Amino acid sequence: MKKETIKAGQLIIDFLAEAKDTDGALTMFEFTVPAGAKMPVPHYHENFDETLYGVSGIMTYTVNGLKIEIAPGETYFVPRGAIHGFENLHREDAKVLAVITPALLGPEYFREIAEVANVAGPPDTGKLKTIMANYGLIPVPPKS
């Protein structure tokens, strides 16, 4: 059962389970990325793992420098500490189910990101990075 939908820039997040539903064990949400969209700055999670399951389309993750395409029915585990980011390099929208263990990342994070990402013009990257850090997502700037 969908609990809440949050739109943050081009990203649409549909929350299915929150910490309060699972006694803090996990959060679960689907996220949709439009065709051709690039998403957040590469980052890693300090205190939680992320398990991904392809629902529709193909999402391209870069994990510790390795490109991984997640198609419908495929899974991928991103352990805490692994530097990763994602994008949709294909011609159709992509949807992935994400399970966060333990439940340290919930709708509050995405609501705060949405407040910054949904303004007219380019979002304030400094604010976005601060919000990420507040929730244990550590931005890693691309190597030049």
| Count of structural domains, the chain | 1
Cα torsion at 60, 3, 99, 32 (round to 10°)? 0
Question: Token pair for residue 105?
Answer: 């990342």
59 assigned to some structural domain: yes
31 assigned to some structural domain: yes
Give 67-84 pLDDT, tens digit per residue. Answer: 999 999 999 999 999 999
**CATH number of domain containing 104:** 2.60.120.10
Give 83-138 pLDDT, tens digit per residue. Answer: 999 999 999 999 999 999 999 999 999 999 999 999 888 888 889 989 999 999 99
Task: Report pLDDT for 41.
Answer: 80
144 assigned to some structural domain: no
* Whether 127 contacts 119, CB under 8 Å: no
What are the DSSP calls for 16-71, one per residue?
EE-HHHHTTS-EEEEEEE-TT-B-SPPEEESS-EEEEEEEES-EEEEETTEEEEE-
99 assigned to some structural domain: yes
Task: Report pLDDT for 104.
Answer: 94
Give the residue numbers spanning the domain of 59.
4-139
Task: Report pLDDT for 2.
Answer: 67
Full-model pTM? 0.90
Task: Report pLDDT for 39.
Answer: 74
Phi-psi region of 19 (alpha: psi -120 to 50; beta: other; left: phi over 0): alpha
Q: Could you count the other beta carbons within 10 Å of the beta carbon of residue 134?
A: 11
